[in-house]
């Protein structure tokens, strides 16, 4: 195992730590959470003494859970090297029998086993990799069995499904944990490329000085997906694209773009800057929102024949700050679209003066958020030849040359939990503001669902939201 190190993001704690992974054998843990723990282990970024305790309803032995993790890593990450696995596996335990307020299963016994090896001065991290519908039950159980004091708690999204349900869950969570103990994950904020939005802006005057309504016509945040809902029918039909993506990922990325310069790059200042601008989100106008459903959605096993769940959403968001007054933020995401992409496009106003491009490309600064990320500039240049004829050019800066040492979003965020850095997590106040902005889509004024062809760019009505500009993707 690599020696314990210090990262630029913070320092690894020396405190003995027990991580309780609720839903330890579930799909989310298998695909994302367990590979992230493994990456931290191979980088030497876990606490010096730790135990990972999987929890679930099944009767799974410690050895069986270790094998489950090995198989998950082999499928979704890399097959573990024997020496590294030899160091990792003995720190993995499993507590079966579920976990409720009146029946802790074997979890308390397994925690005691971990304490016997680590010492009673351990810190507990509760990681709720479970369906949001189980957050309340598990939180009540944590409270009932006295596992809240001095612990940390990691909640997946969505943290609530409406403003009312958010308040109910938030009140319950705050009856167990102080706000500083709570880490609400939105993995888009953990992406290296998303963090580039503010690092590139604040570090380069070339961009920062034009990052306002004086220079920008609109901002487009576009996350189309080619995937269908696969085996997530039960979850997805109760959620839909707007709740799954708009009120979470897309709102948070919009805040990354729109925030004012923080007082410093310290965690609390970054979070305050992001969430201060979220408080200025104007509630969505249903007349400026288009909801869609791809044609074959209702044929999916587990989806009702009369389902009106949205698999597509496009919305015009307004941010009522001096910097962004009058600049629309166009947000779009959907399933079964022609391509998969994650892009933020800052579209500039036409320049004043005698030269104007006659082409179709819009002058824009584009951030590609997929993978290591890229920055693309669409601009007007001189066409080669004797005459001063404008032409359009596109230049892309791929960020592989600065990607060495980069971590997956989940790895980065879980490391921040250990380090106590909450800058890339959502706060109670910030989430309340997002649900206030989202509330009109959960009222009687919710737009009707419009069908769209599988593999298309969604309902045609979404094109009108961009005005004369059009969507940069798919136009």
The verdict on whether 249 is a catalytic residue reads yes
Beta bridge partners of 19: 52, 125
State how far the Cα of 101 lies from the Cα of 279, in Å rounded to an integer.
Answer: 36
State how far the Cα of 242 lies from the Cα of 462, in Å rounded to an integer.
Answer: 14
Structure-derived torsion over alpha carbons of residues 24, 8, 183, 400, reported in degrees to the nearest 10:
-70
The DSSP call for residue 319 is B
Which residues are documented as binding site for NADP(+)? 23-30, 57, 157
Which residues are documented as binding site for substrate? 187, 191, 225, 244, 335
Determine whether 288 is exposed, middle or buried from the number of CB atoms within 10 Å of its CB (0-12, 13-18, 19+): middle
The CA R_g of the chain, rounded to the nearest whole Å, is: 24
| Catalytic member of 41, 126, 249, 398 | 249
Transcribe 12-56 into DSSP letters: ---S-EEEEEETTTSHHIIIIIHHHHHHHHHTT-S-SSEEEEEE-
State how far the Cα of 186 lies from the Cα of 235, in Å rounded to an integer.
Answer: 18
Residue in 238, 240, 244, 252 with CA at minimum distance from that of residue 292: 240
Give the catalytic positions in this structure.
Answer: 249
């Amino acid at each position: 195992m690599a020696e314990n190190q210090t990262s630029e993001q913070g320092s690894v704690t020396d405190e003995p730590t027990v991580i309780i992974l609720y839903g330890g054998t579930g799909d989310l843990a298998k695909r994302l959470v367990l590979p992230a723990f493994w990456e931290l282990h191979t980088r030497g970024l876990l606490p010096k003494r730790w135990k990972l305790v999987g929890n679930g309803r099944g009767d799974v032995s410690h050895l069986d859970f270790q094998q489950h993790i090995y198989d998950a890593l082999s499928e979704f990450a890399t097959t573990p090297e024997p020496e590294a696995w030899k160091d990792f596996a003995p720190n993995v335990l499993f507590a079966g029998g579920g976990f409720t307020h009146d029946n802790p299963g074997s979890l308390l016994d397994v925690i005691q086993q971990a304490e016997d090896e680590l010492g009673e001065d351990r810190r507990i991290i509760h990681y709720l990799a479970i369906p949001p519908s189980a957050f309340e039950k598990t939180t009540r159980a944590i409270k009932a069995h006295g596992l809240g004091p001095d612990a940390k708690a990691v909640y997946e999204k969505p943290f609530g499904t409406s403003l009312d349900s958010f308040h109910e869950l938030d009140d319950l969570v705050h009856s167990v944990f102080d706000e500083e103990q709570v880490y609400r994950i939105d993995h888009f904020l953990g992406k290296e490329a998303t963090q580039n939005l503010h690092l590139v802006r604040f570090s380069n005057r070339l961009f920062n000085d034009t990052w306002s309504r004086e220079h920008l016509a609109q901002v487009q945040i576009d996350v189309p997906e080619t995937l269908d809902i696969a085996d997530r029918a039960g979850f997805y039909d109760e959620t839909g694209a707007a709740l799954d993506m708009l009120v979470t990922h897309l709102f948070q990325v919009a805040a990354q773009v729109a925030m004012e310069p923080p007082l410093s790059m310290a965690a609390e200042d970054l979070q305050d800057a992001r969430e201060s601008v979220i408080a200025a989100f104007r509630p969505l106008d249903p007349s400026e929102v288009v909801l869609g459903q791809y044609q074959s959605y209702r044929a999916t096993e587990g989806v009702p024949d009369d389902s009106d769940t949205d698999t597509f959403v496009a919305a015009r968001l307004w941010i009522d700050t001096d910097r962004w007054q009058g600049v629309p933020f166009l947000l779009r995401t959907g399933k079964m679209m022609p391509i998969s992409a994650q892009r933020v496009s800052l579209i500039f106003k036409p320049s004043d003066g005698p030269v104007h491009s006659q082409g179709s490309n819009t002058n824009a600064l584009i951030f590609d958020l997929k993978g290591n990320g890229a920055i693309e500039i669409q601009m007007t240049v001189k066409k080669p030849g004797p005459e001063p004829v404008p032409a359009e050019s596109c230049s892309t800066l791929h960020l592989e040359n600065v990607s060495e040492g980069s971590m997956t979003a989940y790895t980065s965020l879980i490391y921040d939990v250990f380090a106590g850095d909450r800058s890339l997590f959502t706060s109670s106040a910030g989430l309340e503001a997002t649900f206030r902005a989202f509330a009109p889509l959960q009222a009687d004024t919710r737009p009707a669902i419009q069908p769209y062809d599988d593999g298309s760019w969604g309902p045609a009505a979404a094109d009108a939201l961009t005005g004369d500009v059009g969507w940069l993707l798919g136009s």
